[in-house]
Structure 1
Amino acid sequence: MSEIQKVALVTGAGSGIGRAVALALAGAGWSVGLAGRREDPLRETARLAGPGSSVAVTPTDVTLPEEVDGLFDEVRDRFGRIDLLFNNAGSSTPPIPVDELPYEQWRAVVDVNLNGAFLCAQAAFRAMKTQDPQGGRIINNGSISAHVPRPNSIAYTATKHAMTGMTRSLSLDGRPYRIACGQIDIGNAATDMTARMRAGIQQPNGTILAEPVMDVADVARTVLHMASLPLEANVQFATVIATTMPYIGRG
């Protein structure tokens, strides 16, 4: 960290990985904009950051361009600039066979995981390109589903594969403007979303097995490392998983 306080914006900051990353950044001295659909969980993240932390709460639906624009305007008005976007907001469907998946559920996942991620990345790109000093970093939350799918997860898997393409395009297009972009692909971090993995989740052979999980703080430390690098260095892709989860050998 330089003597100038860095500014981060974390989407999906009201729970899980987003909350853990926001707290890690705040604990390392960053100013942090907290974005998410529901205000109360964001307020709880702000409370957990502690009274000395520099955080701002902005309830935001990332699928709406006008709300994303307002989010970035508010963070820049509050803190002056944006050095980091952790593009984390995401959703999924229950395990549903592809021929039974309602279009509305497909569309809802695509709207958050892909369209919302694009809108936030676009707004971050605009801010980082024009601010002085120029540049910043975008870290996209992919998933091991960006590499290999789980059964009956076509919407989530498709959007996470698309996230990888977005990361590569942003990384290339950001070069002239000192905008770095990387992606973290996470497997079985212990959050509310992964509670069913500990109880038992369907495997490719049809069996139901409990899977190991890792502490979400370990993910947050990895994101913090990626975020703390100088813009001349970039972790392009990082995969962080519970060591014994059935990922290697799954695909």
Structure 2
Amino acid sequence: MGNRVAVVTGAGSGVGRSAALALLGGGYAVALAGRRREALEETAEMAKGAEALVVPTDVTDPEAVEALFAAVKDKFGRLDTLFNNAGGGAPSTNFGDVEYETWRKVVEVNLNGMFLCANAAYRMMRDQDPQGGRIINNGSISAHAPRPGSAPYTTTKHAISGLTKCISLDGRVHNIVCGQIDIGNAATPMTARMAGGVPQPNGTVMPEPTMDVSNVGNMVLMMANTELSANIQSVMVMASDMPFVGRG
């Protein structure tokens, strides 16, 4: 498992930071990508001397994504794992009131950005010697069932499931595997609102339990450490008591 190289997008906070720290702690050299240099440098400092490369990146910008993977190739020579994590949502809005600009912004990051990063990683893994690598896409519980008022976010996460399967299938000829992690209620800034209550399918608003985000980082590390002859195609990790399994 030594001398492996990973890229983590959205590595400046939350799930991305947790995964980056888990990979760095597991012996990986990790390129930390995200929009805010200060947040990425903070993640690198938390890694306590592990080999981290800070690369500020807007994943919606094709040139910035190409520059990210060029920097990884220049620094490390190869790429073994991409945790394709960067994403975002929008305020809960009934579908009839969703504005196109809100839709466009969510699609730009959650779908187009994930395509750009996966595509660049795929080409790098295909062209390196030895050939191959692993792409882990961050889906969501919303890839299986929506929350009320979540059309832009939920639609993109359903799309990521299709993207994951296509990469997994097309990658076979190049020894590239692709899996998806679907996360429910990890305690991050993005889910802090859940303590005050979030809309439920029956029209009520109620607080929801969360889990420590380190559970996600540990799962990403396990997926990354799986040999390329096997693939964790899909895994779901969520707070045990969240209202997902059952009627809403």
* TM interval, short-chain normalised: over 0.9
Q: Secondary structure at the match of 1:197?
A: helix
* TM-score w.r.t. length of structure 1: 0.97
> Using the alignment, how far apart are the partners of 1:249 and 1:148 within structure 2?
11
Count of residues in Structure 1 that have an aligned counterpart in Structure 2: 248
- Superposed CA deviations along residues 187-237 of structure 1, whole A, max 9, x for unmatched, are 000000000112211101111111010010011111110100110010000
- Asked if structure 2 preserves the Cα contact closer than 8 Å seen for 1:19 and 1:45, the reply is yes
Q: 5+ residue gaps in structure 1? A: none
2:225 paired with 1:233: no
- Secondary structure of the corresponding residue to residue 139 of structure 1: strand
Deviating runs (4+, > 6 A) in structure 1? none
Q: Does 1:244 align with 2:241?
A: yes
Q: Distance in 1 between matches of 2:8 and 2:222?
A: 15
| CA displacement 1:68-125 (0-9 Å, x = unmatched) | 0000000111111110000000010000111111111110000000000000000001
Distance in 2 (CA, whole Å) between partners of 1:250 and 1:88 is 29
Once the two structures are aligned, what percentage of the paired residues are identical?
60
Give the CA deviation at 1:250.
4.5
1:58 to 55, 58, 73: 55
2:153 corresponding residue in structure 1: 156
Give SS of 2:88's match: coil
Q: What is aligned with 1:191? A: 188
Task: State the partner residue of 1:72.
Answer: 69
1-structure distance, mates of 2:51, 2:74: 14
Distance 2:247 2:104 in 1: 27
Instruction: State the AA in 2 paired with 1:16.
Output: G
Q: Equivalent residue for 2:35?
A: 37
1:83 paired with 2:80, answer yes
**Whole-angstrom CA distance in 2 between matches of 1:210 and 1:135:** 43
Q: Secondary structure of the equivalent of 1:124?
A: helix
Change (3 A) 1:99 1:58: same
Q: Secondary structure at the match of 2:87?
A: coil
Q: Is the 8 A contact 1:148 1:250 kept in 2?
A: no
Match of 1:27 in 2: 25
What secondary structure, in the 3-state scheme, does the structure 1 residue paired with 2:219 have? helix
Counterpart for residue 197 of structure 2:
200
Offset, 1:131: 0.3
CA distance in 1, matches of 2:17, 2:238: 18
Backbone CA RMSD of aligned residues: 0.8
Q: Following the alignment from structure 1 to structure 2, what is the Cα–Cα distance between the partners of residues 177 and 163?
A: 21
CA distance in 1, matches of 2:186, 2:196: 14
| SS across alignment from 1:184 | strand
Question: 1 CA distance for matches of 2:147 and 2:88?
Answer: 15
Q: Write the distance in 2 (CA, Å) between the matches of 1:241 and 1:199.
A: 19
The alpha carbon displacement at 1:137 in A equals 0.2
